Amino acid sequence: MSEGQTSAPAKGPLEGLRVIDCATLFAGPIVSTLLGDFGADVIKIEHPSGDPIRNMGYRKDGHGLWWKVAGRNKRCIALDLKAASDAEIFKSLVADADILVENFRTGTLESWGLGWDVLSELNPRLIMVRVTGFGQTGPFRRRAGFGTLAEAMSGFAHITGEPEGPPTLPPFGLADGIAAYFGCFASMFAIYDRDVRGSGKGQFIDLAIYEPIFALLGAQPTVYDQLGIIQNRTGNRSVNNAPRNAYKTRDGRWVALSAAAPSIVRRVLNLTGGEGTADDPRFQTNLDRVKHVDAIDLIVGGWIARHDLKEVIETFEKAEAAIAPIYDVGQIFEDPQFAARESITTVEDEDLGPLKMQNVFPRLSRTPGSIRFPGGRIDQHRDDILAELADRLRARKGEPA
């Protein structure tokens, strides 16, 4: 076994699935993180200099904390795919893999003789997730692409922020994360076709980072097509319903609420404005309420501003009028709901000791996922991986182990 951290047996619904991850940074690697969380054996292939995410963000004792999360449940081996000997190891690993995740710029693997045509011939059952900013086709296919560009071009940034302020980008990898979840379930679609429907054939998945976040922006294209309306920035308000906003309490905390269901609207308006407020003719439909949102925010926000957070939450809960405090991460650590569900879990790390990080979501009742180990060191599992590869090559030739 490799020195130091060893890989525990995979458990979960994807136990036995072999995934090769040769992607870097966010969208591609998160695909394999999700698969690894649910039991897949993930082999992380990095350039000898390491995935750049190892050196991003905060560090402790020289170890990147972001990597400890993004690299969890992955066994690490360093290969330079431009070098002939390492390319041969790569092809040998791909030969028995179920899924390969890559995010090189379109055409890069082909230029190294490692494109889909070569790898699918080597392994006809291979599912190859190809993550790029703009996809494998189209005039932008060879452009460098990152989540920030996707957030900009998808229309997300245009509708985010205050009406008189600039378009606003999220302070985390939103488009990358959404693309990763799309890549994960697309992989499962392909596995289902191959193994359950019985085609026995692999396929490649062309995942452009800008498309999944664009897909989640609702009916905007249809509204524009049919009515010529362009949605613009509305701050924390919604163009579809009211009240929907962030409101400040008397003791300086913030809460968020969205009253889309008619029953919730009535409870919120009668609670904050007094019995009968919900019967105001201005507030009878979603469109009415959006039209008179200033009046609604004056009622709801005014009531909240006169009460402390604890009283706001308790009063809304008693009235069954949905509301939630806006947390920072320190407040999340103190919340009883997060604690009861172990939404934050503790994982033992050989470099830093006990580490807290988000647990595995969603929760499966019979075959839940798990975090078996945090992100390891560059090339840490080389000996294990190459020994297993040698065993598989001997087995294919019918030679004894």
What is d(CA 266, CA 288) in angstroms, rounded to the nearest whole number? 14
| 37, 41, 176, 349: the active-site residue | 176
d(C-alpha 317, C-alpha 267), whole Å: 11
Q: Can you say whether residue 135 is alpha, beta or left, with left for phi > 0 and alpha for psi between -120 and 50 degrees?
A: left
State whether residue 282 is helix, strand or coil.
Answer: helix
Q: Which residues contact 116 (CB under 8 A, 6 or more apart)?
A: 109, 110, 128, 130, 204
339 to each of 256, 335, 336, 344, how far by Cα in Å?
21, 6, 5, 7
Give the residue from 209, 196, 108, 92 showing the smallest Cα distance to 151. 209
**43-67 burial string, b = 16+ CB within 10 Å, else e?**
bbbbbeebbebbeeeeeeeebbbbb
Residues in Cβ contact with 58 at an 8 Å cutoff, skipping those fewer than 6 apart: 64, 65, 66
Is-catalytic flag, 176?
yes
**Which of 242, 251, 236, 255 shows the shortest CA–CA distance to 313?**
255
Q: What φ, ψ does residue 344 adopt, rounded to 5°?
A: -110, 130
Question: What residues are annotated to the active site?
Answer: 176
